[in-house]
A and B are shown apart, each in its own frame.
Chain A
Amino acid sequence: MNNKRSPFIFSVLAFGYAFLYIPLVSVIVYSFNDSRLATVWGGFSTRWYGELLRNDQVLDAALLSLRIAVTTATFATILGTMLGLVLARFGNFRGRTLLTGMITSPLVMPEVITGLSLLLLFVSLHGLFGWPATRGFSTITIAHITFAMAYVTVIVRSRLAAMDQSLEEAAMDLGCRPLRVVFDITIPLIAPAMISGWLLAFTLSLDDLVISSFVSGPGASTLPMLIFSKVRLGVTPDINALASIIILLVSLGVVAAWLVSRRMQKSLPSN
């Protein structure tokens, strides 16, 4: 039976993989294309990577994206962990259902809506308090934190749900105050979830185009924004090189997150 089915499964798999990865592979292949025309193969070359490094516009955008991604990931992890703890450990407080819904809504909310509403918020804040004076790093970071935090919350919360709550009770039983228990027991045990949450938030922030476009101002372009605007003038090989680097970074992030979560499975107590 297995033998009969396997050619079918194999072709489905092959098709799926092809569908997902041929575009990526072609981007990577063409980034090594010597020709100036993005669609004509003109021999192997790494010149576009060299050119990227001399392009200040690209370097600035890359630096901005990285700064935003690191800040976003860090704050999203801290806030998301706190929310996850509250939702998983503080029982049935008033407004718990509402909070759950509100936290998970950014996961399903169309990005255009999130972006637009944040833009309106920043504009009216500027009108009321004169802050933010310019839109750029801080507005994009805040916007990214709001949606990345939701992902971290979900990851941390599911890890907490899988964790034996008597571990925390045992610490309290041995004389530890509740707040201290969080640092002694809870955080070390959910650290893997926090790390994969951080990596996920980092990747999401690095990827984001729509929300960033809404809340950024003149002169502040993230890498995806730069690529998008360049592509509108035609695909050039240096864009392929840039995209390849991003693909590499994101893949590293995903693999790291996977490794961490695999360790997390192993470190779960066996009973």
Chain B
Amino acid sequence: MGNQTATNKQLTEQPWLDSTAQPFIVIENVSKHFGDFVAVNNVNLNIYKGELFSILGASGCGKTTLLRMLAGFETPTSGRILIDGIDVTDVPPYWRPVNMMFQSYAIFPHMTVFENVAYGLRKEGVQPAEIEKRVADMLELVQLGGYGKRKPTQLSGGERQRVALARALVKRPKVLLLDEPLAALDKKLREHTQFELMNIQDELGITFVVVTHDQEEAMILSSRIAVMKQGGFIQVGMPKEVYEYPGSRYVADFIGTVNLLEAKIESKDGDQIVAAAPEMANHVRAYTDLQLEVGDSVCIAIRPEKIYISQNEPDNDDDDRVAGVIEDFGYFGNLSLYRVRLESGRIIQVSAQNRRRSVERFLEWDDKVFLSWRVRSAVVLTA
């Protein structure tokens, strides 16, 4: 994606494109076994300074274990971890230049908000006057000014989250690790807090590594995302890349919604292929960089929002199209979701922006419709 044409500005903003850039965190062949169970399986990853990096995966795939190895609570069974050029694989947590925000927030219940945030500084031996100031500044930053004397039991979920954040940030770590930082918050608060987190990260310039199972959260927050499955990474990239150019069915399906069509390549012309998709009753076109041969089985992925739905047959032959019948639809305010049944019985999901305000719906159950999409919108997957 524009590797060759990257400008200097791009390279400073996206250091992973720069082959000469020094990664800030290096995870090298790291595995973690619990008895016979492999929780993390030979993972390699470079994270650059100032990134807000997300590790995204289903529950139980080993995200927390990986994060705990970065924090020092678990020792890798094999492999090394470097932070800022120093091998920290065997460095205990209390000596690592890293702080963690726990999934449960782990606020000390017997201390006030002030004491909680001051704790790390006390352990560092910072002067009381400076502690006072730094804690006050940090509480201000997370919008908890004046909360210092409160006990944790007197805080709401969102406030506890911010105390945990302040407590981890006040030590000015090189890296902040966040385990499902927003999972315990309700939807509205979560959206608000996402942007707060991004602002704070931007302001302090600390490298954030966030673990989440929420793909939307990862998309919004991150500079880059690593998609994890069964202890290994299956794709690493910017949110846009991972969404628009998924490398496998799993990623395409995990990140957002997608229509996956099995197909067989019938002809090939440069980077354009034409494939027979039995479920579509006709041919599908797509562009791909993959080295494929005529006769190869592939999977064509098309996102619901890339598909136009209309009652009149579109006359644009540049686009691919197929006819179907509306099986079901849902109205979501800003958009509508349609489930369209093709002649083969296959259901295709389509989402459409509700641009016009109207009391009646344009499309109803059993309406005959045409679906069409730009050929460039179809993604060819082999894995």
Contacts and interface: CB of A to CB of B under 8 A. Distances in A.
Interface in B91-120: 92-95, 98-100, 102-110, 119-120
A87 to B, nearest CB: 20
B123 interface: yes
A174 B103 CA distance: 16
Contact of A175 (B103, B123, B184): B123
Contacts of A173: 71-73, 93-94, 98-100, 168
A167 B94 contact: no
Given A164-B104, A170-B102, A174-B167, A189 B110 contact: yes
Interface centre among A166, A174, A268 (most CB of B within 10 A): A174
A177 interface: yes
Given A174-B119, A176-B123, A169 B109 contact: no
B120 A185 contact: no
A172 interface: yes
B158 interface: no
Interface string B151-164: 01100010010000
B124 interface: yes
B32 interface: no
A23 interface: no
Given A169-B102, A175-B120, A176-B123, A267 B109 contact: yes
Contact of B120 (A174, A178, A269): A174
Interface string A233-271: 000000000000000000000000000000000011111
Interface of B, helix, strand, loop or mixed by DSSP: mixed
A188 interface: yes
Contact of B106 (A170, A175, A176): A170
A245 to B, nearest CB: 36
B356 to A, nearest CB: 45
B174 interface: no
A269 B152 contact: yes
A174 B107 CA distance: 12
A66 B71 CA distance: 50
Interface in A147-169: 164, 166-167, 169
B264 interface: no
Given A166-B104, A169-B102, A174 B110 contact: no
A170 B94 CA distance: 10
A171 interface: yes
A174 B123 contact: yes
Interface in A163-204: 164, 166-167, 169-178, 184-185, 188-189
A172 B110 contact: no
Contacts of B73: 169, 172-173
Given A172-B93, A172-B94, A270-B153, A166 B106 contact: yes
A176 B109 contact: no
Given A170-B100, A176-B94, A164 B124 contact: no
A268 B100 CA distance: 22
Contact of B104 (A175, A267, A268, A271): A271
Nearest to B171: A174
Contacts of A178: 94
Interface in B106-150: 106-110, 119-120, 123-124
B119 to A, nearest CB: 5
Nearest to B153: A270
Given A177-B94, A269-B109, A271-B184, A171 B102 contact: no
A174 B108 CA distance: 12
Contacts of A167: 106, 108-109
A166 B119 contact: no
A267 B100 CA distance: 24
A242 B364 CA distance: 89
Nearest to A174: B120
Contacts of B71: 169, 173
A268 to B, nearest CB: 8
Interface in B49-78: 71-73
Nearest to B109: A269
A166 B102 contact: yes
B170 to A, nearest CB: 9
Contacts of B110: 188-189, 267
18 contacts: A164-B104, A164-B106, A166-B103, A169-B73, A169-B93, A170-B167, A172-B92, A173-B168, A174-B119, A174-B168, A175-B94, A175-B120, A175-B123, A188-B110, A189-B110, A267-B153, A269-B107, A271-B157
Interface of B: 71-73, 92-95, 98-100, 102-110, 119-120, 123-124, 152-153, 157, 160, 167-168, 171, 184
Given A169-B93, A173-B93, 11 more contacts: A164-B104, A169-B100, A169-B106, A173-B71, A173-B94, A174-B168, A176-B123, A189-B109, A267-B153, A269-B107, A269-B109
The 8 closest A-B pairs by CB, nearest first: A174-B120, A175-B123, A170-B106, A166-B106, A166-B102, A188-B110, A172-B93, A269-B109
